[in-house]
Each structure stands twice: as structure tokens, then as C-alpha cells.
Chain A
Amino acid sequence: MLTMAEAVREAMSIAFDERPEVFLLGEDVGIYGGAFGVSGDMYHRYGSERVLDTPIAELGIVGAAVGAALSGMRPIVEIQFSDFTAQAMDQIANQAAKIHFMLGGALHVPMVLRTPQGSGTGAAAQHSQNLEPWFASVPGLKVVVPSNPADAKGLLLASIDDPNPVIFLEHKLLYKIPGRDPVPEGSERIPLGVAKVVREGKDLTIVATGIMVNKSYEVCEKLAAEGISVTLIDPRTISPLDMQPVYESVEKTGRLMVVQEGPAHAGFINEVIAQMAGSSSFGSLIAPIKRLAGMNIPIPYAPQLEKAAVPQIEDIEAAAREIVKNWR
């Protein structure tokens, strides 16, 4: 069973083999094999012309990638921590996302920016953020948040194919974990903008992103043993967002809970709530929509506080029980 890091490496390798214009650039992606070991031996397999170690200069890295993409290449950028995308935000938000539209569609930017995100590693406030809403709120960017190795592989291949800039947000804690499902061999793509119904139930619908899909899955298993059946939906891409399975599920369960790691305030998951509230499925709700999200604080360094700052399995379980018990 491949881990997420291995699945991402495999997807990149397949793309390298398929298309000569695909290349990888970033800090320590070459000889060192990537800060989290994702590129691994790719430097040795593909050479220094396709796996480029760059200086510590995120704006320059992404700028180079945008320029390469405009001239026919398909760059994969790795930014060591998603927090550092702040350094490169002009290239991401003002250039990559907009060029296609400002040039009347004459050019596009087929760039993938991969970056690890999230808390749980004791790396404190500047290396632990979940920045999904930064990217999801910029039209022109596609945003992918894989929750398992199999999806990561298929989604990354589709992202590399995509003519638009794609932000690919990988959770650090998932890198070393094999998925529940084996990673398919071959080069099958998973289309962007198609949510996955991870499991189906009749009592509650949970929509979760990234690592929260995994935490929620454990809760689903536990509750299933007690006769509470839960539908778990992983949007997989948060831009574009596929709400149809959510509507269909809520029409059956009547209860919706959303879970994200990032801070609650103005978080991505609020978009799911907003779209539900504005949909014709709203009338199916038999319970107020429950939101579980990170606290509105920088991620603390102290391990117990870091844990308390984002939803944990126990929190998800308690909230799921409560919504099912209180609203009938």
C-alpha cells in the first residue's frame, strides 16, 4: 500500500514519463528529496534539468513556474510549507490566476503548485496553517485537497493535465499514512470538481476536507457499530466545488455537519453551508447545520494546545452524536 507521499511521487513520475514538458521545481526537491520526502529519488531518475533545486525565494520560484507555463511547459512547484505561499502570493493570485483572462484567453498557465499544509507536527504558527480559503477565494485557481493516496494520485495527474493553475494542498500528517483503498496502478485520472461519497448512511451527512475526512471516517465507523449511519462526503476539490452529492445526501438524512481544519471564521467549509442554505434542499433539514472547524487563533506550539485548536476525532464524534440525538 502506497502512502500519500509515494502516491504523489508516482503521479509526478507518470506525468514526467508521459510529457517531456513536465518538470518539478522547489526548495530541496532535488538531491535532498523534498522537505517531506515527496520527490524522493526523482532527482536521480530524471536528472537536474527536470527536478530543479531552487534558492529560498518563493516569489521567484512561482514566478519562474508561471513564466515556464506561459511558454509551453507544465511546471510542478513544491513550496515547502503552504505558509510560505504568502511570499509568492502575487505570482499565484495576481499573475497565474488572472493571465488567461486578462489576455483574452490567448494564453494559459498549466502550473501545479503542490504544498504541504496543516497542523499536528509541532511546527508552530508559521508552519502549521490551513490556508484553503486563501486559494479558494481567488477565481482562476483550482484548489485540490486530497485526503488519501489513491485520490492524491488520480487528482494530481488530472491537475497536471489541467490548463489552469491548480493549488494542490497535501496534509503533512497524511504523507506517511497508507490509504484505506489501494492506489490503483496505471495512470487513471480523477476528474477535478467531482466530490466523493466516501460512505453512505441515513442519519447524518458529514462534509469534510483533507485530514478531517480521515478523522470523520473513524467516527462513522464507531457510530455505525451503534446503529447511527453517516454519509461522509469528501469534496476533493474545493474549487470548483461539487455540491450535488451533498444536496442528495441531505435530502435523505436531513442533518448536515461540516468539518474543516482551518479556522471557522470565513473558512472554506462555510461555503458548503452557504450553498446548502441557498438551495432547494434547505427544506430537507431537520437540524441546524453543525460546523466544526479550527479555532480562530494562530496554531499554538504547545502540543496539547495545538491539538485543542483543531477538531479531533472526539470532537467530531460528540458533535455527530448530539445532532442526531437532539434533532429528530
Chain B
Amino acid sequence: MSFKYPVVMPKMSMTMETGELLLFHVKVGDQVKSGDVLFEVMTDKIDMEVEAPADGVIETLVGNPGDVIEIGKPVLIMLTETEVMAFDFGGDSPAPPAPTPPPVAPAPVVAAPVVQPVAPTPPPVAPVVQAVVVQAPVAPVVVAPIIVNTSVKAVPKARVEAANRGIDLRTVHPTGPDRTITFSDVNSAQIDPAILKRQAANKALIAKGIEMTRGIAQASFNRRANATFDHAQLISAWAKVLRARPDLAAHEHVGVALIIESKYGSALPVFKDPDLVNIEELRGLVASTSDAAKNGKVPIAMLSGGTTTIFDLTTYSMSSATPLLFPNQVTSLTIGYDSQSTKNISLTIDLNFCDFYDGALLLDALIACL
């Protein structure tokens, strides 16, 4: 049995709200394999190719080249046999339309020291849910992979310069022939000061003999842990571990984003400096934020400032996944199902800023903390 699966405009940066569809690489009726390039989009920062998440057949092209499409909205619909992402999207048996998320309450959802006051007059359609993820009406919702163009074309010296300055070539606008990044493109690229700071800290790593020349190297580690911890404990422990490694932090604070799935989509509330809060207080905040997110509400103040992300896959009976890291984040944790008494913790790290040894130490420290 095949399912309709919409391939949506992905969210590529914290500021991205829409993307322009540049061109399709497929037409209706095409057979595609997982990983085939489906279409190219241009955002305010990045041009990229979006790949097929699974094998299937192209059913409908929703957008037209040149269209500006909101993140999370379908660009094309494919039919796939791959059940893990099965849900009906419209079609013959229309699913109940996803209710528009209600605007953010004028008051903080939960009173907590880390939650800053929300703007008293929120915009009419407030971005209460950060649509990193497919806006799917029916569960189970699978975290949409954040797909970036991994085959950036750049001249050799542009690569050297980008590596030296810690510039992710995916973020550089190409002006050369065949959309190739030239040396001067990199030379004139603006760098996130946070990245620069981290890069400076990273010099110590280079001194250790670690030489990273690629902009997008990441690695994942798996460990088994006792399943006794809850989200609050995990968030607190992970923040504590990261706080001990200021060289990996791009920001003044530690912001732990927790992905919470709901029928409205996925929300990514950020808990700022959660390790500095009393655990009971944090537990309350996590619980109330999770409840609110499941109803489509997340305070705007909690929608930014993430420096790391936690994905909890246990509710899907999945054991692990390797997400691509969010821009400006060096780490992400995935909690997966392992057994009745144990959970599987996967850590994904950006190898530009830490090495395998660091990854292992981080994971060790987290498990010790739990």
C-alpha cells in the first residue's frame, strides 16, 4: 500500500519563513529513490537541493518554479511505500484540517524565571509553533530531515579560506559560473560572531592535531542509559555538561531545545540555562510547556536561543536517529527506546568544533550526571 507524502519547504535557518522554489528536478510520474534531488529552493541565506526522503513516485507538483512557499507547506507530493512516514495528506479521505494554532496567550504560559515576558500584543498569527517539522494533521509525525546541499561547488581556495575562517560554505552565495562559490564570495561572506568565537576556542583542538577542512562533518555516538530520567532531568543534566565546555558554546547561555510533537506539528521550546533552575521548578516548566505545546502554544520567548536540541524518539519506539545539526548548534541528543529499563542516548556533534574524543567525553559526562 502506498501513501501520499508531501515534501515540504524545509526550514533552514532560524530566520527563514519562506523559500523560493527555483526548479523541479522531477516531473509527475517519475520514480525516485531516497536521496534523489527533487527540487531546488533559495532562501534568504542558502540555496539548496531538497532530496527525496524515501523511494516513491511523484504524484503532484504543488508549487511552480518562482513561487515563494511558506516553510512546512508542501512543494510536491509523492507516493511512497515507506510506512514510517505514512499519513494521508488530503486526497480521497480528507483528514481533518489542521486547526490554526491559536495565538500566543498574552501572559507567559508558565511563570518561571527563565521565561521572559511575552509581548503584550502578539501578532495576529503568532509563530507559536516553530515549523521545523512537517505540519502533518495525523500522527505519527516524523521529524522532517533538514536537507542541505551537501555538494556545494567552490574553488579550492574558497574552501581553504572557508575552513580557516569557520565559514559554512552552504551559507555562502555563489556568484561564479555554474553557481560556484568563488574566493571573493567567501572573502566577503559575513560570519556569525558566535561562530568566530567558537572557532577561536577551537584553535586548541587544532593544536591537538585535529584538522577539519569540511564545513559539515558530523558524527554520532550511542550509549545505553537507565531509563529512570525524565525530560527535566535530562535537560538539566545536558545543560550542566555543556556549561562545563564553554569552548563548544556559541552563546552566553545554554539553551536546550526540546522537540515536542503535537497534532499541530512540532514545537521546539527552548529552556534557557535550565541547569541553573531548581529541578522541581524545571520539571513543572517542562510539563506545562509540553502540555501547552501539545495544544499548539509555546511562548514566543521560548522559541529562540537554542544552543542544543533534544529529540525524544521513545514515543515512536525508535531507538536512534541521526539528525542534521541545526545551524549554529554543535550538538544534538536523541533519546530512543532501548528496553523497559534502558534508553538509548545518541549524541550528534559537529566535527568542526569538537572531535570524537570530545563527543565521547560529553556522552560519558551526561550519563554520569543522569
Q: Which residues of A contact B (CB under 8 A)?
A: 254, 282-288, 326-328
- Pick 13 A–B contacts, CB within 8 A, sort by A: A254-B183, A282-B156, A285-B155, A285-B156, A285-B157, A286-B155, A286-B156, A286-B182, A287-B155, A327-B155, A327-B177, A327-B183, A328-B182
Contacts of A283 in B (CB 8 A): 156-157, 159-160
Contact between A326 and B176 (Cβ–Cβ < 8 Å)?
yes
Contacts of B155 in A (CB 8 A): 285-288, 327
Contact between A284 and B156 (Cβ–Cβ < 8 Å)?
yes
Name B183's closest neighbour in chain A (CB-CB).
A286
Contact between A284 and B177 (Cβ–Cβ < 8 Å)?
no
Contacts of B176 in A (CB 8 A): 326-327
Contacts of A288 in B (CB 8 A): 155
Contact between B177 and A286 (Cβ–Cβ < 8 Å)?
no
Contacts of B156 in A (CB 8 A): 282-286
Name A283's closest neighbour in chain B (CB-CB).
B160
A284's contact among B157, B182, B184, by CB below 8 Å, is which? B157
Q: Which residues of B contact A (CB under 8 A)?
A: 155-160, 176-177, 182-184
Complex CA gap A326/B155 in Å reads 12
Complex CA gap A257/B182 in Å reads 17
Additional 8 contacts, C-beta under 8 A, given A287-B155, A327-B182, A328-B184: A282-B156, A283-B157, A283-B159, A286-B155, A286-B158, A286-B183, A326-B176, A327-B176
Contact between A254 and B182 (Cβ–Cβ < 8 Å)?
no
Complex CA gap A328/B180 in Å reads 11
Contacts of A254 in B (CB 8 A): 157, 183
Q: How far is the CB of B258 from chain A (nearest CB, A)?
A: 42
Complex CA gap A326/B175 in Å reads 9
Contact between A326 and B177 (Cβ–Cβ < 8 Å)?
yes
Name A322's closest neighbour in chain B (CB-CB).
B177
Name B184's closest neighbour in chain A (CB-CB).
A328
| Known contacts A286-B158, A287-B155, A328 near B177 by CB under 8 Å | no
Complex CA gap A36/B159 in Å reads 52
Name B177's closest neighbour in chain A (CB-CB).
A326
Contact between B160 and A328 (Cβ–Cβ < 8 Å)?
no
Q: How far is the CB of B151 from chain A (nearest CB, A)?
A: 16
- What DSSP secondary structure best describes chain B's contact surface? helix
Name A285's closest neighbour in chain B (CB-CB).
B156
Contacts of B158 in A (CB 8 A): 286
Contact between B159 and A328 (Cβ–Cβ < 8 Å)?
no
Name B187's closest neighbour in chain A (CB-CB).
A328
Contacts of A285 in B (CB 8 A): 155-157
Contacts of A286 in B (CB 8 A): 155-158, 182-183
Q: How far is the CB of B83 from chain A (nearest CB, A)?
A: 45
Complex CA gap A65/B156 in Å reads 49
Q: How far is the CB of A137 from chain B (nearest CB, A)?
A: 27
Contacts of A328 in B (CB 8 A): 182-184
Complex CA gap A282/B157 in Å reads 8
Q: How far is the CB of B254 from chain A (nearest CB, A)?
A: 36
Q: How far is the CB of B8 from chain A (nearest CB, A)?
A: 35
Complex CA gap A282/B158 in Å reads 11
Contacts of B182 in A (CB 8 A): 286, 327-328
Name B158's closest neighbour in chain A (CB-CB).
A286
Q: How far is the CB of B19 from chain A (nearest CB, A)?
A: 28
Name B178's closest neighbour in chain A (CB-CB).
A288
Q: How far is the CB of B177 from chain A (nearest CB, A)?
A: 5
Contacts of B159 in A (CB 8 A): 283
Name A251's closest neighbour in chain B (CB-CB).
B157
Contacts of B184 in A (CB 8 A): 328
Complex CA gap A287/B155 in Å reads 6
Contacts of A327 in B (CB 8 A): 155, 176-177, 182-183
Q: How far is the CB of B184 from chain A (nearest CB, A)?
A: 4
Complex CA gap A288/B178 in Å reads 12
Q: How far is the CB of A277 from chain B (nearest CB, A)?
A: 9
Q: How far is the CB of A278 from chain B (nearest CB, A)?
A: 12
Name A254's closest neighbour in chain B (CB-CB).
B157
Q: How far is the CB of A281 from chain B (nearest CB, A)?
A: 9
Complex CA gap A285/B159 in Å reads 10
Contacts of A284 in B (CB 8 A): 156-157, 160
Q: How far is the CB of B154 from chain A (nearest CB, A)?
A: 10
Complex CA gap A328/B188 in Å reads 11
Name A328's closest neighbour in chain B (CB-CB).
B184
Q: How far is the CB of B289 from chain A (nearest CB, A)?
A: 48
Contacts of B183 in A (CB 8 A): 254, 286, 327-328
Complex CA gap A287/B158 in Å reads 10
Complex CA gap A254/B183 in Å reads 10
Name A287's closest neighbour in chain B (CB-CB).
B155
Q: How far is the CB of A15 from chain B (nearest CB, A)?
A: 45
Complex CA gap A326/B156 in Å reads 15
Complex CA gap A328/B185 in Å reads 8
Q: How far is the CB of A133 from chain B (nearest CB, A)?
A: 26
Q: How far is the CB of A280 from chain B (nearest CB, A)?
A: 11
7 cross-chain pairs, A with B, having the tightest CB-CB distances, nearest first: A286-B183, A283-B160, A328-B184, A285-B156, A286-B157, A283-B156, A286-B155
Name B175's closest neighbour in chain A (CB-CB).
A328
Complex CA gap A147/B105 in Å reads 82
Q: How far is the CB of B173 from chain A (nearest CB, A)?
A: 14
Q: How far is the CB of A247 from chain B (nearest CB, A)?
A: 13
Q: How far is the CB of A84 from chain B (nearest CB, A)?
A: 43
Q: How far is the CB of B163 from chain A (nearest CB, A)?
A: 9
Name A326's closest neighbour in chain B (CB-CB).
B177
Contacts of A326 in B (CB 8 A): 176-177
Contacts of B160 in A (CB 8 A): 283-284
Q: How far is the CB of B301 from chain A (nearest CB, A)?
A: 44
Complex CA gap A286/B339 in Å reads 54
Complex CA gap A299/B190 in Å reads 52
Contacts of B177 in A (CB 8 A): 326-327
Of B156, B176, B177, B182, most A-chain CB atoms within 10 Å: B156
Complex CA gap A168/B159 in Å reads 41
Q: How far is the CB of B213 from chain A (nearest CB, A)?
A: 9
Complex CA gap A288/B184 in Å reads 14
Complex CA gap A286/B177 in Å reads 12
Complex CA gap A285/B180 in Å reads 13
Q: How far is the CB of B99 from chain A (nearest CB, A)?
A: 52
Complex CA gap A284/B184 in Å reads 13
